[in-house]
Structure 1
Amino acid sequence: MYWRHTAAYLDPHIRSGSSSFWAIGDVEVGLHGPKQDLETGEWDRRYAELLTRDEYDAGYRLVVAD
């Protein structure tokens, strides 16, 4: 559900629970752009349509096998 709460990804605690960020390691440098976009409202201008959706397919799949 964090895709609707983009600022949550700026929180190191939140990122530590995400396998995508965990695998990358130090992402602080790469988060400067998104942080600035959130602070200036640019993110909202570009992606506001996402906030109207009930779901979002980011391509992640969970495969469970017995």
Structure 2
Amino acid sequence: MILRSNREKQQSYEFVSIEELVPQNYLLRKVDQYIDFSFIEAKVRPLYCVDNGRPAIDPVILFKMIFLG
């Protein structure tokens, strides 16, 4: 059994930009450009409780997942 100290571990960080990873002509960029999903939040606001239980999934994100599926 070999024991090593934590000082020997190398720690490195890498900064990643989603803007650089997703191509400019990607379909979801076009959908986001032409469809304004902000109306969803107002429509579902009465259905969400703000002070009871765990926070819900953002309704806009949930709708986008269903829309794309």
| Fold shared per TM-score above 0.5 | no
In proportion to residue count, which structure has more helix? 1
| TM score, norm. by length of structure 1 | 0.27
Q: Whose Rg is larger? A: 2
